[in-house]
Amino acid sequence: MDGQSNGGFRSLEDSYVYRSGSSTTRFRQALCGGDTELKVKESKCLWNQPRVEYLGHIILAVGVKVDLAKVQNMMQWQILKTLKELQGFLGLTSYYRRFVANYRKIAAPLTRCGEFHWTEVRMKAFEALKKAITIALVLALPNFTKPFVVKCDALGTRIRVVLMQEGRLVAYMSKTLSMKNQMMSTYE
């Protein structure tokens, strides 16, 4: 909701509602019924859609995946010539990092640069990152009524976490530890 009163009613804009099950009749009646202060413009509503494209993602009943039409530009990206171009590329790929296993590990050679210059290692990382984004996995939608499994791996220099539910991947997280954090014990 936009939270602003609009002539005695509230408006609902650019909102997406995920609902399990195929029946939206009661939900639709509640939103569009006469007793609410909520006004919905039916002509702008889509009901029972099997697929929704939203902010570079495709939302399906089975999960969320990267919209390949949006990441095609990454595959066309030429060799980077400046630090600013590298930062732009990393910013774009970072948006999709939750879909890529070991994103930080793949991107590490590109993030560790004082002076900008291409090396064989950076070129391989650049190509590997472009490929990883385009073959990204479908992440399952979480069901909060069922238990989750969290798998953690704390290495000397980084932490990796995988969130799963019923054997399906829900999310990844990978973080490189600062020197200060690397000196701490496991329990700190």
User: CB within 8 A of 95, min separation 6: which ones?
Assistant: 56
* pLDDT score of 3: 44
SS3 98: helix
Checking 102-108 for CB contacts under 8 A at 24+ apart, the result is: 102/160, 102/174, 103/129, 103/132, 103/172, 103/174, 104/158, 104/174, 104/175, 104/176, 105/158, 105/174, 106/132, 108/176
Ramachandran bin of 48, using left for φ above 0, alpha for ψ from -120 to 50, beta for the remaining angles: left
* pLDDT score of 124: 93
* pLDDT score of 181: 84
Per-residue pLDDT of the chain in tens (188 residues, 90 and over written 9): 444 444 444 555 555 555 555 556 666 666 666 566 666 677 777 777 788 887 888 887 778 888 877 777 778 888 888 888 888 889 888 888 888 878 888 998 988 766 778 889 999 999 999 888 877 777 888 888 999 999 888 777 888 888 888 888 888 777 778 888 888 876 76
* pLDDT score of 128: 93
* pLDDT score of 93: 87
Rounded to whole angstroms, how far apart are CA atoms 169 and 75?
25
Cβ-in-10-Å burial (0-12, 13-18, 19+) of 54 comes to: exposed
